[in-house]
A and B are shown apart, each in its own frame.
Chain A
Amino acid sequence: MGREVSESCVESLLTEIVSQYCNHFYANKPELAARRIEAIGYQVGHQLSERYTMDRPRFSDHLEAIKFICKDFWSELFKKQIDNLKTNHKGTFVLQDSRFRWLSHMSLDPSSENSGSAQDPSTMAESKAAQATGMYLYFPCGIIRGALSNLGIPCAVSADISSLPACKLLLLNTLRCFSIEKLKLMVQTYPA
């Protein structure tokens, strides 16, 4: 395919996109920031799918196209395939990546703000982690939506992450690191 890009550059770019849109362009308007980021991902996915399907014949049905996303497309983007694909055969697909590359170098360092909370600290921290990393998933979701749309499958893509703490909390003031690994994408296609 020709040129390659350093993965750490892509990760840094993703981090910076989220930071710029959330803190500058659409400060205090996270929904707008999310939509804009997703739209950028949409265009990228559109273009990438054009390039990565060059040598292939047309897909015979939606499932074949989704399988392409799970295998070849995912490999081009993330150097691995989707680990698990489920469908209800009625237009909903769940794609699971147990070690999503673009989040693998991210960790969440919760501040001491949540000391004194009545809730169980580890679940609260988990949901904080989910919130914080949620913004970083709009871009990949947009990519998938753009790719599928270019393959003739309009759809909605949403992400769900389950965070796996890398180490358990021992003391309230200890630095906690969570590694966010498992990514679940839900693709909802529209009936023809």
Chain B
Amino acid sequence: MIVCVAVVGHQNNPLYIQSFTEADDALKLHHIVHCSLDVVDERVNNPKKSGPTLNETFLGLLYPTENYKVRFHLAYVDAVSNPFHVPGKKITSRTFAERVSNIVKSFGLSSAG
């Protein structure tokens, strides 16, 4: 199940973090997100090792299904296309938050069922 969705900017600054369980606190989530970024960076800097999977690393390291990556990315692109969104600042769109939680919900339903 999806525990947390995070969007991180160019300078590793958090643009959006949302947890979907009650247990973890925000600080722990930030930490986990930054640790997973290290894995991504590793893959980026060693192109020979990752090869064809390079595209996948940026859209979800572990999930086998393509669909969710595309939906998350599309929600992000739409949020960023908002003319009132300042690039590099946090994403404050409620629509984005709703779409993300809908994706997480449907993922939870399909994996449980």
Please report A residues at the B interface, Cβ cutoff 8 Å. Answer: 43, 46-47, 50-51, 54, 56-58, 60, 150, 152
Which residues on the A side are within 8 Å of B74 (C-beta)?
A: 54
**Which of B54, B70, B87 contacts A46 (CB under 8 A)?**
B87
**Which of B58, B70, B81, B87 contacts A58 (CB under 8 A)?**
B58
Sample 7 A-B pairs with CB under 8 A, ordered by A number: A43-B83, A50-B76, A57-B54, A58-B54, A60-B47, A150-B87, A152-B10
Which residues on the B side are within 8 Å of A150 (C-beta)?
A: 87
Q: A43-B87, A46-B87 are in contact. Are A51 and B81 (CB under 8 A)?
A: yes
Q: Mark B51-95, 1 if CB is under 8 A from A, else 0.
A: 000110010000000000010011011001101000100000000
- Counting from the closest, the 4 A-B pairs by CB-CB distance are A57-B55, A47-B81, A51-B77, A50-B77
Which residues on the B side are within 8 Å of A51 (C-beta)?
A: 77, 81
Which residues on the A side are within 8 Å of B55 (C-beta)?
A: 56-58
The CA-CA distance from A51 to B10 in the complex, in Å, is 16
Please report B residues at the A interface, Cβ cutoff 8 Å. Answer: 10, 44, 47, 54-55, 58, 70, 73-74, 76-77, 80-81, 83, 87
The CA-CA distance from A58 to B44 in the complex, in Å, is 10
The CA-CA distance from A47 to B76 in the complex, in Å, is 11
Q: Known A-B contacts: A58-B44, A152-B10. Give 20 more (CB < 8 A).
A: A43-B83, A43-B87, A46-B80, A47-B80, A47-B81, A47-B87, A50-B80, A50-B81, A51-B77, A51-B81, A54-B70, A54-B73, A54-B74, A56-B55, A57-B54, A57-B55, A58-B54, A58-B58, A60-B47, A150-B87
Would you give the shortest CB distance from B109 to chain A, in whole angstroms? 25
The CA-CA distance from A150 to B74 in the complex, in Å, is 16
Which residues on the A side are within 8 Å of B70 (C-beta)?
A: 54
Would you give the shortest CB distance from B88 to chain A, in whole angstroms? 10
Would you give the shortest CB distance from A4 to chain B, in whole angstroms? 15
Which residues on the B side are within 8 Å of A47 (C-beta)?
A: 80-81, 87
The CA-CA distance from A150 to B76 in the complex, in Å, is 14
The CA-CA distance from A57 to B83 in the complex, in Å, is 26
Specify which of A58, A60, A150 lies most central, judged by the most chain B CB atoms within 10 Å of its CB: A58
